[in-house]
Structure 1
C-alpha cells in the first residue's frame, strides 16, 4: 500500500483526532509576553564604601566593568 493510499484510508476511517481547545500549560513565550517591562538592577543597596563589604563591592564593580561583564 502506498503512502497516499494509507492516508486516504486513514482519512476516510471515521475516527477523528480532536486537539484540545487550549493546552493545559501556557508556553514560555506567553508567560514572557505578560510582563510589560523587565528592569534589571541591583537587588539591594550597596554597602558603605568605608566598610569591607563596600570596598569589595566597589572592586567587584570595577573588575566587571574592565572585563565587560554587565
Structure 2
C-alpha cells in the first residue's frame, strides 16, 4: 500500500465513506437496535432512525437489524 485510500471508499447515496467509518456506523446501529429493541419494535424504522438522527442512507442496515431482532421480548 502506498497510502492511497481512494480504493477504500464506498459510495452510498452520493456520500463517500471509508470502510472504517461505514463499519463504525453499522456497529453503532447494531448497538442501538440491541439496546432499544423493544422500543424499536413499537416504532416503525423511520421514526426509530429519526429518534437517533441516523442518516437515510443507512436505512437498509436499520431494517436488517430490526428484522433480525424481530422476536418480541417476553416480559
Shared fold (TM-score greater than 0.5)?
Answer: no
What band does the TM-score fall into relative to the shorter chain?
Answer: under 0.3
Structure with greater strand percent: 2
Higher relative contact order (CA 8 A, sep 6+): 2
State the TM-score, normalized to the length of structure 1.
0.28
Larger radius of gyration: 1
